[in-house]
Chains A and B, each alone.
Chain A
C-alpha cells in the first residue's frame, strides 16, 4: 500500500534535484529571488511519475539562463553593461589572435626560414611569446570585465592601466614594422586597442560614475 506513495516521493525528489541542477546556471541574484517559486511551478506542471526534467523543459531553462546572463545586473547603468560586453569582445579578439598564431605558425616559420634563418628564429621567439602570453591576456580581459560589471572602482583603474599597456604594445609593433608581426596579429591588436578605448570612455562617463561611487548620504 505504502510503496507507490514512497516511489512517488522518490520520483518527485529526483525530479526536483534535476530542476535545481538546471537552475544553478542562472545568475545568483535571479536564483535568490525566483528559484523556489520557479521550482513550485515546474513541479506543478510535471506529470505524476516523472523522474527527470523533460528535454523541452531543459532546453527552455537553459535558454532562460543564457538570456538572464546576457542582461544587465540590477542597478547597472547601460554604459557599464556595454563596457563589460565590449571587454568580452576584447577577450574574443585575443582568442582569435591566438588561434590565428597557432594555425599559421608553421607557414610563417617556413616562409621566413626561406629568407633569413636569423630573422626566422627571432620571429618564432616572438610568436612563442605571443602563444604563451595570449591566454594570460584573455584572462585579464575576462577578470576585468567581471570586476567592471560588479561596480568595483579599482577595476576601472586597473583597466585603464591595461589599456595603456595595449596602447604601448600596438605602438611598439607598428614601430617594428611588419617583420615580427603577422598582419592578422596586428589587426587583432588594433581591434583590441579600439575596443579598450571605447570601454575606458564608457566606464568614466558620468552615468557610470554613479555606479562606482554612489553619492554619499548628505548629513543634515
Chain B
C-alpha cells in the first residue's frame, strides 16, 4: 500500500471527512511531511471507491460548492488494520534490532 493511500484511509478511520478535510488531516498525521495535492487525492479516492474500501457518506453544498464526505467501509477498516499491523511488526523488528546493536556496541565499548 502506498503511503498516501495509507494516510488517506487513516484520516477516514475515526470519522467521515470531505476532500479538503482529508488533505489537512493527512498533513497533520504526517507532521506536515505529506502534502496531498488534489489530483493525487482524487485519483486515490477514485481507486479506493472502486475497490470498495471507502464510500460516500453524504453530500452538502457549502458556499455554492459541492462537499462530499467519505467514510471507511468495513473492508476498508480491515485493509487499514492489516496494513497497520504489518507496518507495526516491521517497525518493532527494526527498533528491536537497533536496540540490540546499540547494547552490543555499548558492551563492546566498555570492554
Contact = CB atoms under 8 A, between A and B. Distances in A.
Contacts, number: 60
Interface residues of A, number: 25
A64 B19 contact: no
Nearest to A54: B37
A107 B85 CA distance: 63
Contact of A60 (B23, B40, B50): B40
Majority secondary structure, A binding face = helix
B38 A38 contact: yes
A89 interface: no
Main secondary structure of the interface of B (DSSP, over half): helix
Nearest to A33: B46
Interface in B40-66: 40-43, 45-47, 50, 65-66
A100 interface: no
A43 B46 contact: no
B42 A38 contact: yes
Interface of B: 19-20, 23, 37-43, 45-47, 50, 65-68
Interface of A: 30, 33-34, 36-45, 56-57, 60-65, 67-68, 71, 74
